Amino acid sequence: MFDLQKRLDALKESFEAVWQKLDIDNRLKQLQQLEDEVAVPEIWNNPDVAREKTTKVAQLHDALDPWTLLKTQINDLSELMQLGDESLVEEFAEQLTAMEEKLAELRQELRFTGKYDHNGAILRITAGAGGTEAMDWSGMLERMYLRWAERHNVTATILDRVDGEEAGIKTSVIEMTGNNIYGQLKSEHGTHRLVRLSPFNADHLRQTSFSLVEVLPIIENDDEVQIDPKDLRIDVYHSGGHGGQSVNTTNSAVRITHIPTNIVVAIQNERSQLQNKEKAMEILRGKLQQMMQEQNAESVDKLRAGESASWGQQIRNYVLHPYKLVKDTRTKYEENDAEAVLDGKIDGFITSFLDN
């Protein structure tokens, strides 16, 4: 029993350290606040807001329930062991082993201790130079991330999309929501390079194409990134996307320009101008926060325009000819099954980045 007590004490100590590091108490308070809000019937006067909050409640439960359950199990076992029933030593040992294994599994969340790692993410995919070839490559990347989201039951919503003239896309903006989405997908931020035999020229020559993937945290709280309204230019225009009868006949699309940095965010997916503006501001806050990190700036007004490193780092090569290989330039992790990677199996790259 003495050895079991030592193991239990060590488990308690490790559990408490991880609990504190992951700020579980504050996340539980956030969950309680959201549950109180969705319990008010009037919230359904705005169904979009109600659905968004109930989704967040479900996501927080998915993330936090395993922790609260393990805490309860540890406390229950501690009380039982204090009774000193020697006939239950074997059962205690089995329970303790199971708890140790569960904590080892939950400790993987320590990878996500960044300020916004628990948040959702915005992916902005932009075709580089190269015309149709680059646009087709950007379309392939868009599909890769949508397939990754599908495999992981992540909610993915295309907020804005500009198709290429012949194939692929010029740009695509995708919102992904779920637990630790930004923490996982921040590994994808940078320039992605494709080498293949081009299907778009008569000679079928080898072609190199580039696409920029920006991964931005979803920041809903205005207080976290202070933006002076005088620094914004907001334009509205007719939406060109799909939607109901009022979407394409009213000025529902919104374009926001942050004048000091010349960042432009355009959203037209939502049905109302107000919703498009809110989404555009979320993306703008994420982009400004990212620039603050890149430039080590303490506030938005300290940012220098044109100094984002977005196109500066080539993070991954996808070679489809003369051999097949996908290799990350930062971690050196590689996969030979390029088709599987392009079908959304990018977890090896994500894990390698987080462990590096």
Which structural domains are found in the chain, ordered by start? 2-111 (1.20.58.410), 121-219+308-355 (3.30.70.1660), 222-302 (3.30.160.20)
Q: What angle do CA 120, 124, 126 make, to 5 degrees?
A: 165
The tens place of each residue's pLDDT in the chain, 356 residues long, gives 678 889 999 999 999 999 998 889 999 999 999 999 999 999 998 887 888 889 889 888 988 999 999 999 999 999 988 887 777 788 889 999 999 999 998 888 888 888 889 889 999 999 987 789 999 999 999 999 999 999 998 999 998 888 988 899 999 999 999 889 999 999 999 999 999 988 887 777 788 999 999 999 988 777 778 888 899 999 988 766 544 434 444 567 899 999 888 888 888 876 678 888 888 888 898 888 888 887 777 778 777 665 444 455 789 999 998 899 999 999 999 999 999 999 999 999 999 999 87
In sequence order, what are the residues at sequence separation of 6 or more whose Cβ sits closer than 8 angstroms to the Cβ of residue 55?
155, 177
Task: Give the integer Cα–Cα distance in Å for 190 and 317.
Answer: 11
How many CA atoms are closer than 13 Å to the CA of 120, on its beta-carbon side? 23
**pLDDT of 32:** 95
Place of tokens 């938005």: 300
Place of tokens 């207080």: 223
This prediction's pTM? 0.76
Q: What are the φ and ψ backbone dihedral angles of 306, each rounded to 5 degrees?
A: 75, 15
In sequence order, what are the residues at sequence separation of 6 or more whose Cβ sits closer than 8 angstroms to the Cβ of residue 350?
184, 185, 187, 188
Task: Give the integer Cα–Cα distance in Å for 94 and 108.
Answer: 22
Q: What are the φ and ψ backbone dihedral angles of 188, each rounded to 5 degrees?
A: -90, 0
Helices of type H across 152-272: 181-185
Tokens describing residue 153: 């039951």
Helical (H) or strand (E) element with 339: helix 338-342
Task: Give the integer Cα–Cα distance in Å for 84 and 5.
Answer: 10
Q: Closest Cα to residue 328, out of 340, 343, 313, 308?
A: 313
Task: Give the integer Cα–Cα distance in Å for 172 and 195.
Answer: 21
Beta bridge partners of 156: 176
**pLDDT of 311:** 59
Please, which contacts does 7-14 make with residues 24 or more away whose CB atoms are closer than 8 Å?
7/96, 7/100, 8/74, 8/77, 8/78, 8/81, 8/96, 11/74, 11/96, 11/99, 11/100, 11/103, 12/74, 12/78, 14/103
In sequence order, what are the residues at sequence separation of 6 or more whose Cβ sits closer than 8 angstroms to the Cβ of residue 177?
55, 59, 120, 154, 155, 157, 218
Asked if 77 contacts 92 with a C-beta cutoff of 8 angstroms, the reply is yes
Count of Cβ atoms closer than 10 Å to residue 243 Cβ: 15
DSSP assignment of 111-136: G--STTTTS-EEEEEEE-SSTHHHHH
Tokens describing residue 213: 């993937």
